[in-house]
Structure 1
């Protein structure tokens, strides 16, 4: 049985290896070359494939066997054990990569069961070279680099800032939601990297809303980071299994009051 801190250290090492490999591909102008279709059904870019391969190499070199992987590109693979399960989004923000925009990140969560509640550790690493990883251990707190994250209350003197992540299928719904939030004079943002939009709730953002299309593997690590930093995460459906197919809606906020206000205002019942 592996210690959780040891597994998180390996996940961070794997994320750093993926980020370094991805930066080389991006720098070489080959990042958006299409390599096929991943297990999730999304187009696999060279940067996705390169980052995933780097992660898998670290896991194999450091663990050998006795674990499993659920990844956006290769899908589920068992290395002689069901758990720990490494839940991998090798590049979150692929569209930004294609457009030459920031941000994008590597996300890795670790679970010891088959549902979202079984996630015990996670890391989200932005790809800019100077960035520190956001990471968390269940029951032991969240950190950015070596600095412990403790969410501070949103300022009562300024309008809350909220990131919204949505798909084309929620277009009509999002139009109504934006209208309601603007009535409250909230600051609405969208960055194109869901895992970071959630993780940033631990710092500058007040909240993050993801509508209907949130794939659990993209957000598992970031959700734990927010909760361990003292924030509130609401999601629906309540029983979310760890799979490529499972999607959900979620609200991450600095506190429960703000999360409830978002749910009531947007009528999303997350």
Structure 2
């Protein structure tokens, strides 16, 4: 299959998958959908709405792809037709707690890759399940929000930046709040939405200048697609350990900074002990 055609087809599959996930999530929440039904492959509690989102995505993938390797928070790793490529990285519902509590910020993310590593991601689609905003990227072809090209911001100084910082208690090492205090005190504005795939996507559009999670507990699976979007929009990334060579698995966890400009990442790193 010719590479450009393949990427466009994969993108359409990713878009359709997250759109179907949105329908499933809205339907599930309208029926309640907040009961815990199992523990997913990631070790997190899975709600009815999580399962509904994943089921909708997997249905699309199996209809569209004769073979693939799926890596998903709920199911774990599943092969069909002999396995990938493509490798399909899925976070069916990023912000499950938000959805459960009625906090209006959650998303679905699907990325298709030519290999198992972060650098292999070729296309991605992330959908804001409340607003319907669709964030996409194709490797080598740029990034879009609702089909309009986007670029990262040109803010280079923390004192001028709007940054998002993951404060989640889960996986937070002792003293983490003190560690990141210099960032909070220096940044012009600080946010935390509770949906990392969406927050990284917002860096790609320039709505946010940087996303920071230095706990070392961020699943790279959650943001595998949006990281491509940031890079395609002109931004910079810091990932430890592994950088772009990290394998995207259910248990792969990293420290992450994404920003519109590399200078902003450098300043963040200069103010904290990583």
Q: TM-score range by the shorter chain?
A: over 0.9
Residue 192 of structure 2 corresponds to residue 186 of structure 1 = no
CA shift for structure 1 position 155: 8.2
Q: In 2, are the aligned partners of 1:111 and 1:121 still within 8 Å (CA)?
A: yes
Q: What is the CA deviation profile of residues 140-176 of structure 1, one whole-angstrom value per residue up to 9, with x for unaligned ones? A: 1000111001223128797311111144242534312
Closer/same/farther in 2, CA of residues 29 and 42 from structure 1, 3 Å limit: same
Compute the TM-score of the two structures, normalised by the length of structure 2: 0.91
Residue 270 of structure 2 corresponds to residue 257 of structure 1 = no
1:2-81 aligned within 5 A: 3-30=6-33, 32-63=34-65, 65-80=66-81, 81=83
Q: In 1, are the aligned partners of 2:158 and 2:187 still within 8 Å (CA)?
A: no
From 222, 227, 239, the equivalent of 2:226 is 222
Q: In 1, are the aligned partners of 2:156 and 2:261 still within 8 Å (CA)?
A: no
Structure 1 Cα separation of the partners of residues 116 and 247 of structure 2 = 6
Partner of 1:245: 251
Q: What is the Cα-based RMSD across aligned positions, in Å?
A: 1.8
Structure 1 Cα separation of the partners of residues 157 and 168 of structure 2 = 31
CA shift for structure 1 position 40: 1.1
Structure 2: state its 5+ residue gaps: none
Partner of 2:133: 132
Compute the TM-score of the two structures, normalised by the length of structure 1: 0.93
CA shift for structure 1 position 22: 0.3
Q: In 2, are the aligned partners of 1:154 and 1:206 still within 8 Å (CA)?
A: yes
**Structure 1 stretches of 4+ moved >3 Å:** 155-158
Structure 2 Cα separation of the partners of residues 163 and 28 of structure 1 = 32
Q: What is the CA deviation profile of residues 109-161 of structure 1, one whole-angstrom value per residue up to 9, with x for unaligned ones? A: 11111211111111111101x42210101111000111001223128797311
Q: What is the CA deviation profile of residues 180-220 of structure 1, one whole-angstrom value per residue up to 9, with x for unaligned ones? A: 12432532211111111111112211100012111111010
Partner of 2:273: 267
Structure 2 Cα separation of the partners of residues 155 and 235 of structure 1 = 19
Closer/same/farther in 2, CA of residues 118 and 155 from structure 1, 3 Å limit: closer
Q: In 1, are the aligned partners of 2:152 and 2:209 still within 8 Å (CA)?
A: no
Q: In 1, are the aligned partners of 2:156 and 2:263 still within 8 Å (CA)?
A: no
- Counting matched residue pairs gives 265
Q: In 2, are the aligned partners of 1:166 and 1:213 still within 8 Å (CA)?
A: no
